[in-house]
């Protein structure tokens, strides 16, 4: 009796570095950094780990490539308008990208001067230059903008991760707002007065308001 052997499952497309990075992003989105292993990646790609190592040396390189891919995609959209409008567009692109891929925040924080960060610094810096900021202030002003964008986006992603998918945001903010309203009126006079604003705030609008505050400060540096 002739035995029948099941043929190995074939990949639907050629294995490339780009495809590996694409699947790595998907794994990071669903399982986090801990879920990104070469075994899981090989299984998702229907290949062997050795084939992946041909394109990517190790997990650190893979994480850097995945981060760079997400950031490059976020910065790819051309924005019309003046330099301030372009700053807002870049900032929102990064905010939304980190909101969608929360693991990116940790990667940017861990490698602040590595490959991806100069990409962000360059595009923000060009807008700072076009806003008329004196050359001697370019580094400081660009750094402040980048730090605000990445810091606020990272905090937003961290908040979402803490709440988790099963927690209703409106209910959570309502409960916190009520707690603020019940604080001691002498010790927390200010906090009590903004409790309702905290309850109804929109994270994205609040982020953009921060960008506008930074831009207002920058405008005082430009001649004329």
pTM above 0.75, yes or no: yes
Per-residue pLDDT at 114 exceeds 90: no
Q: Does 39 fall in a domain?
A: no
Percentage, residues of the chain above pLDDT 70: 90
Give, in order, the Cα–Cα distances in Å from 28 to each of 56, 63, 200: 16, 9, 31
CATH code where residue 126 lies: 1.10.357.10
Positive or negative, the CA dihedral 185, 190, 193, 195 is: negative
Our measurement of the distance from residue 91's CA atom to the centroid of its chain's CA atoms, rounded to an integer in Å, reads: 10
Assess if residue 63 is contained within a domain.
no
**Structure confidence by residue, pLDDT tens digits, 129-138:** 999 999 999 9
Provide the pLDDT confidence category of residue 115 given band limits of 50, 70 and 90: low
Contact of 74 with 94, CB cutoff 8 Å = yes
Average pLDDT, rounded, for the chain: 87
The string of pLDDT tens digits covering residues 73-105 is 999 876 778 999 999 999 999 999 999 999 998
Residue 163 domain flag: yes
Please, which residues have CB within 8 angstroms of residue 73's CB and are 6 or more apart in sequence?
A: 97
Task: Give the domain extent around 114.
Answer: 78-219
Find how far residue 125's CA is from the centre of its chain: 18
Within a domain: 110 = yes
In a domain, 143, yes or no: yes
Total domains, the chain: 1
The answer to the question of residue 55 being in a domain is: no
């Amino acid at each position: 009796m002739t035995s029948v052997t099941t043929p190995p499952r074939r990949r639907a497309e050629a294995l490339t570095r780009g495809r590996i990075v694409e699947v790595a992003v998907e794994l990071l989105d669903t399982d986090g950094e801990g879920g990104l292993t070469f075994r899981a990646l090989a299984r998702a790609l229907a290949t062997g780990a050795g084939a992946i190592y041909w394109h990517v040396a190790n997990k650190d390189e893979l994480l850097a490539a995945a981060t760079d891919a997400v950031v490059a995609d976020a910065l790819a959209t051309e924005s019309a308008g003046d330099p301030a409008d372009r700053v807002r567009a870049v900032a929102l692109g990064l905010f939304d990208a980190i909101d969608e891929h929360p693991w990116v925040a940790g990667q940017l924080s861990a490698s602040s001067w590595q490959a991806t960060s100069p990409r962000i610094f360059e595009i923000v810096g060009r807008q700072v230059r076009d806003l008329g900021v004196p050359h001697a202030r370019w580094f400081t002003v660009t750094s402040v903008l980048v730090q605000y964008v990445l810091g606020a986006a990272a905090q937003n992603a961290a908040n979402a991760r803490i709440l988790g998918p099963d927690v209703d945001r409106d209910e959570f903010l309502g409960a916190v707002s009520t707690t603020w309203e019940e604080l001691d009126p002498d010790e927390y006079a200010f906090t009590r007065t903004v409790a309702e604003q905290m309850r109804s705030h929109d994270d994205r609008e609040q982020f953009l308001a921060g960008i506008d505050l930074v831009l207002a400060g920058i405008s005082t540096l430009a001649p004329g």
